[in-house]
Structure 1
Amino acid sequence: MEDVNIDTNNFEPIKAPKRRKESVGDAMEVDSHNGIEGRSKTRPPRAKRYKTKSFSESKDDMRKVSVPAHRYTPLKENWLKIFTPIVEHLQLQVRFNLKTRNVEIKSCDETKDIANLQKAADFVKAFVYGFEVEDALALLRLDDLFVETFEIKDVKTLKGDHQSRAIGRLAGKGGRTKFTIENVTKTRIVLADSKIHILGSFQNIQLARRAICNLILGSPPSKVYGQLRNVASRVSERM
């Protein structure tokens, strides 16, 4: 019973567990490095982070303005007038994507100020809303100009003939009321069905919007004209 077999058996099982532990350690390392969980938690997120960074950079360097179907023809006719100031003065790149039907504006190495990208996008948006190119160019040449958009239902819920009569009061005979509000408040107004777009400075937009809201609510144009003249005279005295 006290032969060498006991000693050899004692040594061999000791070596065997060591090898098993090493193999278990190797297996654990393989699972942790090459397993699905390890791969999904380390490498793919890194790849996604790189992608999101590059995508965000491309987003910061590009603006897209969608063009509705009824503005394709005016955009085609006035493309040179839109293209020239954006490329020559703002040093940007412009193209019209036929698949997505968007005007894409992108900065390049020659772009001096990244703020020009937003100015160009506002300029194209103003034209898409219905403003003339000459009026929309004011957004590029002057500071502190904005475009405000609201609907008739935001002021008063009107439907059918009531809404059409409100639009008629805003336009006036031959556009006379709209032109009067534009000249007094020094803004530009576009009546696009039930939507109203106003281009101008913050203070002038508030004056024009107040006059338009009064017309929507039913005030006669003569009363609105009188209020506009009084406000305009006050503003001119302050200036």
Structure 2
Amino acid sequence: MSPLKRSWMEIYSPLVEHMKLQVRMNVKSRTVELRTSKDTDDTGALQKGADFVRAFALGFEVADAMALLRLDDIFLDSFEIKDVKTLHGDHLARAIGRIAGRDGKTKFTIENASKTRIVLADTKIHILGSFQNIKIARDAVVSLILGSPPGKVYATLRTISSRMKERF
């Protein structure tokens, strides 16, 4: 609740001005309530607004979550490490460490190569981006969970990103 209260004006403004939704924070039930108004033009505005608030609640920056409001082909994908491989104790900690890398280097490399945003929240991983880019990032994260060394993942990402540049 405290990050939501701290960034409330940054969250509230685009929902009301850009999407023309009615928004309120219900402190008692700890929810953000959205509804359409008579000025709402976009039929998917309510869903986009809900995705935007959910992305912020999962840990994405407001500027990154704003892409959900502005672009149509941006999605949010979430999965747990246990969905890929059942790990316990130190093995789980090492897998999280492989994904993050020293000072977040591996995570940033995956984000930059796949043009996505990634949030590591304990054993949950949330990826924000286009459908194809999410698949690239998810494949890289899954290979790290399964034990691939980061150097091998970097090489794979390098070849994939060079193929993506050739396509355009």
Counterpart selection for 2:16 from 87, 94, 111: 87
Runs of 4+ that moved beyond 4 A:
none
C-alpha distance in 2 between matches for 1:89 and 1:185:
28
Alignment partners' CA distance in 2, 1:191 and 1:145: 19
1:96 to 25, 36, 47: 25
Question: Which amino acid is 1:158 matched to?
Answer: L
- In structure 1, the residue matched to 2:152 is 223
Identity %: 64
1:151 to 70, 76, 80: 80
TM-score by length of 1: 0.69
Give the SS at the match of 1:137. helix
Inter-partner Cα distance in structure 1 for 2:43 and 2:153:
42
Match of 2:113 among 178, 184, 194: 184
More helix by share: 1
Q: 2:37 aligns with which of 96, 104, 108?
A: 108
**Matching residue of 2:163:** 234
- How many residue pairs end up in the alignment? 168
**Could you tell me the TM-score, scaled by structure 2's length?**
0.98
Counterpart of 1:208? 137
| Paired residue type of 2:131 | F
The letter for the 1-side match of 2:120 is L
Alignment-derived partner of residue 50 in structure 2? 121
Q: Contact 1:148/1:205 (CA < 8 Å) preserved in 2?
A: yes
Structure 1: runs of 5 or more not aligned? 1-71
Task: Tell whether the 8 Å contact from 1:107 to 1:114 is kept in structure 2 after alignment.
Answer: no
Provide the rounded CA distance (Å) in 2 between the counterparts of 1:230 and 1:237: 11
> Tell me, which stretches of 5 or more residues in structure 2 are unaligned?
none
SS in 1 for 2:98: helix
Greater RCO, 1 or 2 (C-alpha within 8 Å, sep 6+): 2
The answer to whether residue 101 in structure 2 is matched with residue 172 in structure 1 is yes
